[in-house]
Structure 1
Amino acid sequence: MMRNYLQLFILIFFSLNINAQNLREEIKLKNADFKIYDTDSSEKDLEVTRYQIIDSKGDKLEHIARVFDKKKDKETFLGIYRKNDSEIHFIEFNQTKETPTLDHYVYTPDAKGKLVLVKKEVGLKDYPADLPPKFKNNKPIHPEFVGGDAELNKWVEKNIAPILKKELATKDLVLTLEIDENGTATLQNLSLLSLNSETEKALIAKIKEMPKWNTTIQGYKVTGLAFIPVSKP
């Protein structure tokens, strides 16, 4: 079964060596105005993008949007946000673990228009049910494998499990796939799987043969990550 996992860190310090600050959007929550920026910075071996939320008084709140570890040559964190008329939600994938984790933070403005943390959930195994906007089944839209989870499981069992037969004899694995807007899947967590070079090549080649995912969902063009557990048949 494909699942998405996330984790979020609240940052109360300002990043150093900021290279760029781009206005992402202007939003209104309970009649309070906010601007959301993307800020990029380099910190040692990391390339970091943060969401920076600024209220009408100039007060700032930051959350990680993406962390790329240049030394490991891989993405280690990925964050997103969602909003409704009164709340803004932040969630983030922590991809440093073999099984990615999910944390969820919810803010709402107080009477003075300052964002206040009103909810915190950590260690979730899937998107929280109250994450806005609420699409079908109360879940945010994301790329879908043609035929759904049942067909995805069949494809993985037929094409991926045989390649990982040796590794699956002693443990279950989780593949992290990034799905681009064209529906093409790319393996992201190869360095965490501890595979020999021959198995790596076979796995990468097979993922390239994977059918295109459906990325037009409910009229929206979407991209995202797919976390696919693989176990011994």
Structure 2
Amino acid sequence: MKSYLFLIIIFLSLNIKAQNLREEIKLKNSDFKVYDIDSNEKDSDVTKYQIIDSKGKKLEHIARIFDKKLNKETFLGIYRKNDSEIHFIEFNQTKEVPTLNHYVYIPDANGKLVLAKKEVGLKDYPADLPPKFKNNKPIHPEFVGGDAELNKWVEKNITPILKKELTTKDFVLTLEIDENGTATLQNLSLLSLKNETEKALIAKISEMPKWNTTVQGYKVTGVAYVPVSKP
């Protein structure tokens, strides 16, 4: 009996997890908590970033993996954010030339985080990674009336077009905003839509109100990620 108890204690000790609150953040008026989750596995020490929304839904990304057998760090992760997006960068250090993966999440109208962009095997930091300085918000085109008005326009004009598709998944539209404030859909090939739906979506985007591209005295262009989900 003692030997069985000893084995159980050893097994539990190899999977100890600790959770520490890292910070509370706000993205597009939705609140999130970011935790560090540490676990002591048999062959490695693992730390993950865990972000939890107000409804308790979670997503995780690597913060650090230390390989005990190799006696070195094999993966390292960071995250950056601005007022509307959170970016995760994961460095793969198992290769001779390290690479990184880039993930961008944004909250939809219900505060649910959805994946807006994924890039793997990059050799350098992506150009759209937010700066590391806290509260430093890079300027970008703004929808007149802000996110609340943008969500209303999407719900009225885009959601009906994608009504059937939204029963199985959420969408993130990637819009390129030119200096005149005109929006153009960029990720059409990734949406896998029927031809008639695709045409209707392009036509409706062309009717989108002009974005404000004069921000803080500068004329700006850029990319906007617009989540579309079932109401």
| TM value normalised by structure 1 | 0.50
Give me the whole-angstrom Cα distance separating, in 2, the residues matched to 1:117 and 1:19.
Answer: 26
The CA deviation at 1:109 is: 0.2
Give 2:83's aligned amino acid.
D
The CA deviation at 1:18 is: 4.0
Give me the whole-angstrom Cα distance separating, in 2, the residues matched to 1:18 and 1:34.
Answer: 25
Bigger Rg over Cα: 2
- After TM superposition, list the pairs within 5 Å mapping 1:3-18 onto structure 2: 17-18=15-16
Give 1:78's aligned amino acid.
L
The CA deviation at 1:17 is: 2.5
Residue 106 of structure 2 corresponds to which residue in structure 1?
A: 108
Q: Which runs of 5+ in 2 are unaligned?
A: 1-13, 134-231
The reply on whether 1:23 has 2:25 as its aligned counterpart is: no
Which residue of 67, 70, 75 maps to 1:69?
67
Residue 56 of structure 2 corresponds to which residue in structure 1?
A: 58
Q: Deviations over 1:17-38 (max 9, x none)?
A: 3431110000000000000000
Is residue 18–residue 39 contact of structure 1 (8 Å, CA) maintained in 2?
no
Between structures 1 and 2, the one with greater helix share: 2
Give me the whole-angstrom Cα distance separating, in 1, the residues matched to 2:26 and 2:128.
Answer: 19
The CA deviation at 1:125 is: 1.2
- After TM superposition, list the pairs within 5 Å mapping 1:98-177 onto structure 2: 98-133=96-131
Residue identity (%): 86
Give 1:63's aligned amino acid.
H
| CA-based RMSD | 1.5
Residue 37 of structure 2 corresponds to which residue in structure 1?
A: 39
Give me the whole-angstrom Cα distance separating, in 2, the residues matched to 1:123 and 1:107.
Answer: 18
Give me the whole-angstrom Cα distance separating, in 2, the residues matched to 1:85 and 1:18.
Answer: 34
Give me the whole-angstrom Cα distance separating, in 1, the residues matched to 2:64 and 2:124.
Answer: 19
Runs of 4+ in 1 over 2 A off after TM superposition: 16-19
Q: Which runs of 5+ in 1 are unaligned?
A: 1-15, 136-233
Higher relative contact order (CA 8 A, sep 6+): 1
* Paired residue secondary structure (1:119): strand
Give me the whole-angstrom Cα distance separating, in 1, the residues matched to 2:129 and 2:62.
Answer: 18
The CA deviation at 1:102 is: 1.2
Give me the whole-angstrom Cα distance separating, in 1, the residues matched to 2:132 and 2:59.
Answer: 25
* Paired residue secondary structure (1:65): strand
Is residue 39–residue 52 contact of structure 1 (8 Å, CA) maintained in 2?
yes
